[in-house]
């Protein structure tokens, strides 16, 4: 230091000015420092994170052991200053409220836990970034903070420390959830991997243990796996075949570097193209040892993660033995059917003798009552046996594939009317109501096999009557045009009989199947429905049944028929004009109930004109007494709006004993469905629409009474009876015109029971008169010898 008293004034002046300069410099530095400090504090206040300065006295020597330093920090270091954001972080309003609080005052945990955390800070050299601490605010809420703390060290002492703090609770929670879901995903993945492994093991075990051959191929048809089943069938091991094209390995007859193929192409390719398993095919590959094996094979596609085919899995089975068995069964069956079909003639000849002659014997007046009874039994048993034999032969012919459709044009409605008349006799005999419901759209002339159709209907109607003791049998027919020139014929046969148990419904169309009730009722071999089903199939149709035991059954048939040409049709044309009743028949009495209107008023003269006997009674008149006393054969009742009590009349007539056996036809408004339904509900057997149509009226009477008409012939040159209904009477007329040598010959052959000669002569007669030929053939086939003889003109008459 210089002694100022010994200095010269100049020297003093110099020193002073240097001091002034130093002071000015210091002031400047201080100003700068203050400016810096105030801008720092401004920065501190503005920050959204907490900014804090920790300080404590005395200053902490950093050479102390870490734990001691940590304890010092805990006990002596406090918040010296901070911003509002720091105070708010811990739930206080203002920064000043935090000042003086312990540095670790907000930290959660025990003293030891806090010391451990502070030791980390000490060991990091008082410099930590993003140091995560679990804190508790003044309201007791736990929160995670991220801390960046930098200590200021001078002369190996901690002077103070700056800290930056941020609440990271939300981020931490998000992270935690993320970690949790990550671990959940991990757990699920592990579980799935376990399941996949299990399934793989399962699949491997299945593949190892099944007898079927299973192999996989890649997109280039190279074998990638080959199970023991495949080894056993082909005799080739996995190591022989893996990596080779399957076509080469399996040596299929059709394979050309492809897998087992059929004429339609490779099944694996097909499966890949359609993304679906290919249908089973049979192939016959041969092996190097020359063995040929029939294999049933199918393939399914293997798809990659994009759903694209990456290969296929093929399953095959050796079916050589099954094929052999099936072929031999088929051959045996065909031989049996062929034998039975050929036996037809052999069986029918002795039947001819039994039935034909017993019928002739019945005519013998010399027979006593007991003998007559015995003969009757022989005829009935013979007829039953014949029916069963015929069914068996028909079935055999079907099985041998020897049944073909014989298609021709015919009058469908005539066929129905013919059959209705026959079956009505049977329903009448059993006291059943029989109703034929013919829809207006039923075609008149169609092309199809009329005889087979007749056989189907006969079986269904016969069964309905056989299995019904009371109630009704309804035969419903309607047509549906399917295209130009084609019809679908829809037929129901409904009865109120025994019904069929649900368990039997699935087998009812099987050959020889009969329900328990069917067996009890007897009179059949369980073949009728099987034959019907085959015939319906032959016609491209379907047959089904609905039934409830105790309530009844309804059989449904649908077959396809073609539009027919009326000019070529057989059977009578119902639309032809009726001009009279053929002589030689008993009188037909028709009772008409109702007075006014174009129904009853027109009906009576229409019927009178052709020769029916008629009586007309008002609906409120004495209907029943007249009906009973006069013994009417048929009753027409007006039930249209003009005759409000018509329905009640129908009910009364049908309730009487005689009424049950007598056809009652209701006159209803044409196309009036409600009236039609009311009439049917009241018990009417049939309905006819008003305004009346002549052909329809005569057709109904023909169907229910079997009356034979005389027609106004349009073809005057035609032979007698050619267009009329084919009945015994008309047949007799036709045959009267046939050459006597044929009819006499037929008479002789019939009385001699010479079946072959009968058929020969009938064939000859057919050349002259086809319709008579068909009828005679039917009589001969049914062994109706007496009827056949009755139709022949007396010897030498022609
Ligand atoms: P079956 O000659 O015995 O009548 P089907 O093949 O015609 O032979 O009929 C087979 C069996 O189906 C009959 O025995 C009978 O049990 C049952 N069945 C057929 N139709 C009917 C029906 N309408 N009602 C009740 N059962 C029927």
Residue-wise pLDDT for 672-698, tens only, equals 888 888 898 899 988 888 878 777 888
Q: How far is the C-alpha of 14 from the C-alpha of 525, rounded, in Å?
A: 153
354 vs 16, more confident: 16
Say how many Å lie between the CA of residue 548 and the centre of ligand 1. 14
pLDDT in tens, 397-415: 787 777 888 888 888 887 8
Lowest mean pLDDT among 233-247, 506-520, 710-724: 710-724
Say how many Å lie between the CA of residue 340 and the centre of ligand 1. 23
Question: What is the 8-class DSSP label of residue 738?
Answer: S
Q: Is any atom of ligand 1 closer than 6 Å to the C-beta of 495? A: yes
Confidence (pLDDT) at 255: 47
Say how many Å lie between the CA of residue 463 and the centre of ligand 1. 6
Q: Is any atom of ligand 1 closer than 6 Å to the C-beta of 473? A: no
Q: Cα angle vertex 325, ends 320, 326, to 5°?
A: 95
Say how many Å lie between the CA of residue 172 and the centre of ligand 1. 83
262 vs 425, more confident: 425
User: Residue of the nearest CA to atom 15 in ligand 1?
Assistant: 518
pLDDT in tens, 94-106: 889 999 999 998 8
180 vs 524, more confident: 180
Give whole-number Cα distances, 636 to 507, 639, 654, 676, 679, in Å: 43, 9, 12, 14, 12
Q: Is any atom of ligand 1 closer than 6 Å to the C-beta of 50? A: no
pLDDT in tens, 368-389: 888 888 887 887 778 778 777 7
User: Residue of the nearest CA to atom 7 in ligand 1?
Assistant: 528
pLDDT in tens, 416-431: 877 787 787 788 888 8
Instruction: Let me know: does 212 contact 315? Beta carbons within 8 Å.
Output: yes
Lowest mean pLDDT among 133-142, 145-154, 237-246, 419-428: 419-428
Give whole-number Cα distances, 451 to 399, 410, 458, 672, 778, in Å: 19, 10, 10, 34, 11
pLDDT in tens, 616-660: 888 777 899 999 999 999 999 998 887 888 899 999 999 998 888
User: Look-up: residue for tokens 């304890």?
Assistant: 71
- Average pLDDT of the residues of the chain: 83
Question: For the chain, how far is it from start to end, CA to CA, in angstroms?
Answer: 185
430, 518, 536: which to mutate for ligand 1, most atoms within 8 A of CB?
518
Q: Is any atom of ligand 1 closer than 6 Å to the C-beta of 341? A: no
Confidence (pLDDT) at 286: 63
Q: Is any atom of ligand 1 closer than 6 Å to the C-beta of 527? A: yes
Confidence (pLDDT) at 798: 45
432: which 2 tokens?
């059943």
Order of strands, sheet of 664-669, starting from the edge strand that comes earlier in the sequence: 613-617, 589-593, 634-638, 664-669, 686-690
Confidence (pLDDT) at 464: 96
| Predicted confidence band of residue 288 (pLDDT cuts 50, 70, 90) | low
**Looking at ligand 1, which atom is closest to the CA of residue 508?**
12
536 vs 247, more confident: 536
**Looking at ligand 1, which atom is closest to the CA of residue 531?**
6
Question: What is the 8-class DSSP label of residue 719?
Answer: P
Which residue intervals of 567-672 are DSSP H helices? Answer: 600-610, 623-630, 646-655, 657-661
**Looking at ligand 1, which atom is closest to the CA of residue 459?**
7
User: Residue of the nearest CA to atom 21 in ligand 1?
Assistant: 463
- This prediction has a pTM of 0.44
**Looking at ligand 1, which atom is closest to the CA of residue 498?**
25
386, 389, 529: which to mutate for ligand 1, most atoms within 8 A of CB?
529
Q: What percent of the chain has pLDDT over 70?
A: 90
3-state secondary structure of 56: strand
Q: Is any atom of ligand 1 closer than 6 Å to the C-beta of 468? A: no
Say how many Å lie between the CA of residue 207 and the centre of ligand 1. 49
Q: Region 517-543: what's the mean pLDDT? A: 88
Q: Which of 438, 527, 436, 446 is nearest to 474 (CA)?
A: 436
350 vs 315, more confident: 315
3-state secondary structure of 16: helix
Instruction: Let me know: does 685 contact 572? Beta carbons within 8 Å.
Output: no
Confidence (pLDDT) at 476: 94
Say how many Å lie between the CA of residue 163 and the centre of ligand 1. 103
């Amino acid at each position: 230091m210089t002694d100022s008293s010994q200095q010269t004034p100049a020297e003093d002046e110099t020193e002073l000015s240097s001091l002034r300069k130093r002071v000015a410099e210091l002031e400047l530095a201080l100003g700068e420092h203050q400016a810096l400090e105030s801008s720092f504090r401004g920065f501190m206040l503005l920050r959204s994170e907490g900014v804090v300065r920790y300080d404590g006295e005395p200053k902490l020597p950093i050479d102390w052991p870490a734990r001691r330093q940590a304890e010092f920090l805990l006990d002596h270091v406090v918040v010296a200053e901070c911003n509002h954001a720091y105070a708010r972080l811990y739930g206080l309003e203002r920064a000043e409220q935090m000042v003086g609080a312990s540095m670790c005052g907000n930290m959660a945990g025990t003293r030891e836990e806090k010391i451990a955390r502070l030791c980390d800070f000490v060991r990091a050299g008082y410099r930590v970034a993003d140091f995560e601490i679990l804190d508790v605010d003044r309201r007791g809420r736990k929160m995670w903070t991220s801390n960046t703390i930098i200590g200021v060290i001078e002369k190996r002492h901690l002077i103070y420390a700056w800290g930056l703090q941020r609440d990271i609770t939300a981020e931490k929670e998000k992270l935690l959830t993320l970690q949790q879901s990550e671990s959940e995903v991990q757990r699920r993945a592990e579980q799935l991997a376990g399941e996949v492994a299990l399934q793989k093991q399962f699949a491997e075990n299945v593949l190892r243990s099944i007898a079927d051959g299973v192999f996989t191929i890649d997109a280039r048809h190279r074998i990638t796996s080959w199970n023991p089943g495949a080894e056993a069938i082909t005799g080739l091991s996995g190591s022989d075949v893996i990596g080779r094209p399957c076509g080469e390995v399996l040596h299929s007859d059709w394979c050309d570097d492809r897998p087992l193929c059929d004429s339609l192409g490779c099944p694996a390719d097909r499966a890949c193209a359609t993304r679906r398993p290919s249908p089973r095919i049979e192939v016959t590959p041969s092996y190097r040892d020359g063995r040929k094996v029939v294999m049933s094979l199918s393939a399914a596609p293997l798809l990659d993660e994009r759903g694209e085919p990456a290969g296929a899995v093929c399953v095959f089975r050796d079916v050589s033995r099954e094929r052999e068995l099936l072929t031999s069964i088929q051959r045996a069956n065909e031989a049996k059917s062929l034998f039975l079909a050929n036996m037809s003639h052999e069986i029918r000849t002795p039947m001819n003798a039994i039935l034909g002659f017993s019928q002739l014997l019945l005519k013998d007046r010399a027979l006593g009552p007991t003998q007559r009874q015995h003969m009757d039994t022989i005829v009935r048993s013979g007829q039953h046996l014949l029916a069963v034999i015929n069914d068996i032969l028909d079935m055999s012919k079907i099985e041998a594939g020897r049944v073909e459709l014989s298609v021709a044009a015919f009058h469908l409605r005539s066929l129905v009317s013919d059959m209705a008349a026959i079956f009505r006799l049977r329903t009448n005999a059993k006291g059943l109501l029989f109703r034929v419901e013919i829809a207006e759209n039923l075609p008149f002339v169609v092309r199809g096999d009329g005889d087979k159709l007749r056989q189907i209907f006969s079986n269904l109607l016969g069964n309905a009557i056989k299995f019904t003791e009371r109630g009704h049998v309804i035969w419903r027919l309607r047509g549906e045009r399917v295209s130009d020139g084609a019809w679908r014929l829809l037929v129901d046969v409904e009865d109120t009989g025994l019904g069929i148990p649900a368990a039997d419904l699935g087998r009812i169309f099987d050959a020889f199947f009969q329900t328990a009730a069917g067996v009890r009722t007897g009179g059949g071999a369980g073949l009728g429905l099987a034959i019907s089903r085959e015939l319906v199939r032959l016609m491209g149709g379907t047959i089904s049944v609905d039934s409830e035991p105790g309530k009844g059954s309804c059989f449904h048939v649908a077959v396809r028929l073609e539009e027919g040409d009326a000019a070529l049709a057989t059977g009578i044309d119902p639309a032809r004009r009726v001009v009279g009743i053929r002589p030689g028949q008993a009188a037909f009495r028709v009772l008409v109930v109702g007075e006014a209107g174009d129904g009853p008023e027109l009906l009576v003269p229409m019927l009178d004109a052709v020769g029916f006997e008629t009586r007309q009674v008002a609906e409120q008149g004495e209907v029943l007494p007249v009906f009973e006393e006069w013994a009417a054969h048929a009753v027409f009742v007006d039930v249209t709006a003009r005759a409000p009590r018509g329905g009640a009349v129908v009910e009364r007539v049908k309730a009487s004993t005689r009424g049950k056996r007598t056809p009652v036809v209701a006159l209803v408004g044409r196309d009036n469905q409600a009236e039609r339904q009311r009439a049917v509900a009241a018990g009417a057997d049939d309905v006819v629409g008003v305004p009346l149509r002549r052909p329809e009226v005569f057709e109904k009477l023909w169907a229910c009474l079997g009356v034979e008409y005389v027609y106004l012939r349009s073809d005057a040159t035609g032979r007698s009876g050619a267009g009329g209904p084919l009945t015994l009477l008309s047949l007799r007329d036709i045959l009267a015109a046939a050459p006597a040598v044929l009819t006499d010959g037929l008479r002789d052959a019939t009385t001699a029971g010479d079946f072959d000669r009968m058929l020969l002569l009938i064939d000859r007669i057919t050349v002259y008169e086809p319709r008579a030929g068909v009828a005679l053939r039917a009589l001969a086939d049914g062994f109706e010898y007496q009827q056949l003889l009755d139709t022949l003109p007396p010897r030498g008459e022609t």
